[in-house]
Structure 1
Amino acid sequence: MKARVYKWVLYMLITMLVVPVQGVAAGNSNANGMAKPPPAIAPLIDDYGIEIKSGEDLYLPEPELPDTSAYSRDAVEARLASRSDAPPDVSVERIGGISALGDFVDEGRAREWVVRQFSHPQAILVNSGKVTLEDVYRQVNDRRYMERNEDGSYIIRLPLTIRQDATLVMRDQTLRLSEERGAFIANDGWLFAIDSKIIGWREQANGPATFQKKENFRPFYVGWGGSENFILGTTMANLGYLQSKSYGFTVAQYSEYDNARLQRTAPHAWLVDSTFEDLYYGFYCYEAEDVAIVNNVYRDNIVYGIDPHDYSSGLIIAGNEVYGTREKHGIIISREVDNSWIVGNRSYKNGLSGIVLDRQSSNNVVANNVSYDNQGDGIGLYESPDNLLWGNRVMNNLRNGIRVRNSSNVDVYHNVAVLNGTWGIYGQLKDLSATDRNFKEDFYEYEVSLRVVGGELSSNASGPLSTDNPAYIALYDVGMRFPRSDVGIHFEGVLGKYQMQIFDALLNQKRAVRIEPSAVVSGQVSQAEN
């Protein structure tokens, strides 16, 4: 009988109307340069007060979301048409002194290519012009390095590098990258892959270079600082391993040392209507800007599906389907990835959480996503303050629907969290001082504060909502039906102390509640704030 009831509850809650969204709206060292210590862990507060107030004070307008129709086939074709039709120039040269290959010959990594090429490492260089794969094949003119197969596909057996002012165009073609010979693509200019396939290839097996071990070389793609990377209607598969900038599909700025000489702008990328499968990281970026990851499929990738990283900004991650990530999260932004949008994605059946904001990623909008059947949380915020979660649905995740850890000023508006393994929403304080965290690079404040408005927190195993000693929590118009506990809907800790007042204000008075330390409620300044 209970199973039938739960199925009915799940159906009702999944199909219930969620507030629609129509369109999308970051010095951490001491003066002497020493690493900043972990935050002081203040004593837990046991003296809270409650304020009953009008819900109007918690009103927020719908966030303005980016217009993803700007990232269309026509827009990509227009970018391609703007490139010069200069004649193609392709050569095979030694890889020393080529900026786009520097990371792969420094610090002993050159040995990888010496062993695989049986000689001093070489690369295919697209030097200038608007170049097709057929142009590359004809000008290389050596089957040891590049071959055209009977089915019209190509295989390359050297690294392929697009230099700064050159453009490589793939259209309706398949390019195989030889694992045995150490092939990969390094883009320092412009690349357009349209309706094509880029596949890591294991020649001995005459098949794709499927993942075996994280240390084992597999071909990969990297776009460097200043590069423009356009992937449209294309499949990229069987790429990447555990080495810097070799994760699968990467766009990354040059190192600070190299860029002092090269003076490159941030890399840009549009990934549209494409499929990324069996990549070590489905997507990784470093100091990238204005990246659009729109309407793609990320399936069965190894560590992460989509993983924008380190100081990137202005990203749009919208309309993607991300599932089957083996080890960790479907979508994660980490280490000061700011002013970005995660909108309208489906993230499910991933090894840990569906969507994560991590390590001081702030001023982001996470809206209208569906995250379910993940082995962690539906949505997790870790040490990432000042973010908005709007209109998301998180269902049947093994842990929490939404977890907010060591993150302040988080707005959770019009979200539905149902049938999750612990709490619908969990605000968590966690002391990270015993970890190996670098507190200069990954600083955080030991504080949780959030506003929860609208939506539904129903039939979660531990209850609708819990939070550890918040700096404040405000609640208004939150549905909390269908408890799974025999004791009914209940709170713990500071919320438990005011349970009856909370229910009366929300359900009977249709007003908001705000709970914070008593000294704040009474208008005084507590000693802890001085």
Structure 2
Amino acid sequence: MNGRGVTLLAALLLFASPSVLANNPENGSTKELREAHTYTVTSAPIEPLHLEEPKLPDLSGYTVEAVNAKIDRSKPGSVTIRRMVQQDPLKQFIGGDNRLAEWVRRQRGMPQAIFVEGGYVNLADLAKKVPKQYLSETAEGVYLARLPIVVAHGATLHIDGKTRDLRLSQEGGSFLVNDGKLFVVDSRITAWREADNGPATFRKPREFRPFLLSWGGTETYIAGSVITSFGYDESKSYGVSISQYTPNMTKQMGREEPTGWIIDSEFIDMWYGFYCYETDDFVVKGSTYRDNIVYGIDPHDRSHRLIIAENTVHGTKKKHGIIVSREVNDSWIFNNKSYDNQLSGIVIDRNSVNNLVAWNEVHGNRSDGITIYESSNNLLWGNRVIDNARHGIRLRNSVNIRLYENLSAGNGLIGVYGHTKDLSDTDRDIDLDPFDTKVSMIVVGGQLAGNGSSPLAIDSPLSVELYRVDMLMPSKASGISFSGILGERQEEILDLLVRQRKAVLIDPVESQAELQD
């Protein structure tokens, strides 16, 4: 037996004592803590804990060449200018006096938009068909748009490498809405502040900035491109957004969920770098999201089978680097780098289940590394979670979280921390986002090393299973206490886990009694 492992494990801990948990701000006051259970410690069968290394989606087909192959140029499209009112793709932006007034003020009259219809149009051709006061080429390959541009259902707009920069005027109220197919390849789109002759950099949340939105039934492909300074704090105007129509309009229009790819591109100074809603099979790969305002990558409500892979997300100023929230299920988040974000590096939130979070590098974030909120049945595999300000990996109100072969090291508080919290008195909509104050996890392999207070702690678990976990000294010895209820079983735990090298099951007596009933 490895003497080093025995010495360190015996000196450290498996769980924080009730006093440590009570003083942790994640738990609120001690009144929020559950009544202490009596736990049993037994050896668990090893075979059910065995998992094959997860198979990842093949990314080799997501290339610029594959995007170009999707473009159908066979049918030329047409271009018209007409009023924004009574146009289905624009109802979101003219509903109510306030939103309509935005464009009336900017256009100084009844607002209009440029519509691409009927087939394929590239941007250079589009500019030739529109009066120069609305869309002009200001230098070779540089275009300034002063009206919204709408790609109608059945049409294709192609912004190709001949476009060095499409500048959407902030003063003119320009933005892009895709209701058909949009291709942005080897190009650049910039929200443009004409008064400064430069990008419409962020100043305040509610100030209009140009944006891109793709609706239900659409395809959007952005490859090898740069998008800068999009979005503001208004619905569907966040930056680059992919969204199904509202429920009523979806029934009326019969559109499938939108889809597409974003590959090998860069997004800077966006309100949200990427947002989606009821979107299926979308791919965000190999892209950089830097210095964005609220989120880097933010898939949302009922989006499924997403691939978020090989991206670099850093410098998010208000919240998280990568977050999936509210029933974002059956998705893959792997080989990303998420660092130096204001809150967590990666978050799985609000009943998002059956997701794989694997081989990500998450470091230097100002809150947790990886956070799981009210989202059960997720697998975290082979992540490197290092030097985050709070916990390395944190689970709240989530069960059947499987942690395999992860490294959580040098984080400010706990390497892996599980807890419950009653959210009833918050502003949470319980009907929309239900939760159970239950937590359970399986930790197999990996290393928990040099974290600020302890390698692992959990508050009132339904169960915990541990096997082959290397837990090393915390940076603050005073943060560990191996006393309290689980302290009474310390010798049994260490004997099973270290000397006998067996799996350990820590289970409340109540749950075992329930199994016998």
- TM-score w.r.t. structure 2 length? 0.91
Matched, 1:261 2:259: no
| Counterpart Cα distance in 1 of 2:359 and 2:401 | 16
| Counterpart Cα distance in 1 of 2:477 and 2:326 | 41
Question: How many Å apart are 1:177 and its aligned residue?
Answer: 0.3
Using a 3 Å threshold, how does the CA distance of structure 1 residues 495 and 206 change in structure 2: closer, same or farther? farther
Question: How many Å apart are 1:208 and its aligned residue?
Answer: 0.4
Match for residue 28 of structure 1?
none
Match for residue 361 of structure 1?
352
Q: Which has the higher contact order (CA 8 A, sep 6+)?
A: 2
Q: Which runs of 5+ in 1 are unaligned?
A: 1-40
Matched, 1:70 2:65: no
Question: How many Å apart are 1:496 and its aligned residue?
Answer: 3.8
Match for residue 313 of structure 2?
322
Question: How many Å apart are 1:150 and its aligned residue?
Answer: 2.0
- 1:399-478 aligned at under 5 Å gives the runs 399-478=390-469
Contact 1:463 1:491 in 2 (8 A): no
Using a 3 Å threshold, how does the CA distance of structure 1 residues 159 and 53 change in structure 2: closer, same or farther? same
Match for residue 372 of structure 1?
363
Contact 2:331 2:354 in 1 (8 A): yes
Match for residue 471 of structure 2?
480
Match for residue 12 of structure 1?
none
For residue 101 of structure 2, the aligned residue among 111, 126, 149 is 111
Contact 2:243 2:277 in 1 (8 A): yes
AA at the equivalent of 2:346: I
Match for residue 337 of structure 2?
346
- Give aligned-pair identity as a percent: 47
| Counterpart Cα distance in 1 of 2:413 and 2:34 | 26
Matched, 1:131 2:140: no
Contact 1:519 1:525 in 2 (8 A): no
- Deviations 1:93-115 (Å, cap 9, x if unpaired)? 10122111110011221111000
Question: How many Å apart are 1:152 and its aligned residue?
Answer: 2.4
Matched, 1:171 2:150: no
Which range is displaced more, 149-158 or 401-410?
149-158
How many residue pairs match? The answer is 483
| Counterpart Cα distance in 1 of 2:287 and 2:458 | 35
Question: How many Å apart are 1:84 and its aligned residue?
Answer: 4.3
Matched, 1:51 2:38: no
| Counterpart Cα distance in 1 of 2:307 and 2:191 | 27
| Counterpart Cα distance in 2 of 1:493 and 1:383 | 27
Contact 1:276 1:297 in 2 (8 A): yes
Matched, 1:252 2:243: yes
- Deviations 1:293-333 (Å, cap 9, x if unpaired)? 00000000000000000010010000000000000000000
Contact 2:190 2:227 in 1 (8 A): yes
Question: How many Å apart are 1:499 and its aligned residue?
Answer: 2.9
Matched, 1:61 2:52: yes
- TM-score w.r.t. structure 1 length? 0.89
- Deviations 1:98-133 (Å, cap 9, x if unpaired)? 111110011221111000000100000001221011
| Counterpart Cα distance in 1 of 2:359 and 2:485 | 30
DSSP-derived class of the 1:204 partner: coil
Question: How many Å apart are 1:43 and its aligned residue?
Answer: 4.9
| Counterpart Cα distance in 2 of 1:364 and 1:61 | 16
Matched, 1:397 2:384: no
DSSP-derived class of the 1:100 partner: helix
Using a 3 Å threshold, how does the CA distance of structure 1 residues 358 and 328 change in structure 2: closer, same or farther? same
AA at the equivalent of 2:143: Y
AA at the equivalent of 2:282: V
Question: How many Å apart are 1:289 and its aligned residue?
Answer: 0.3
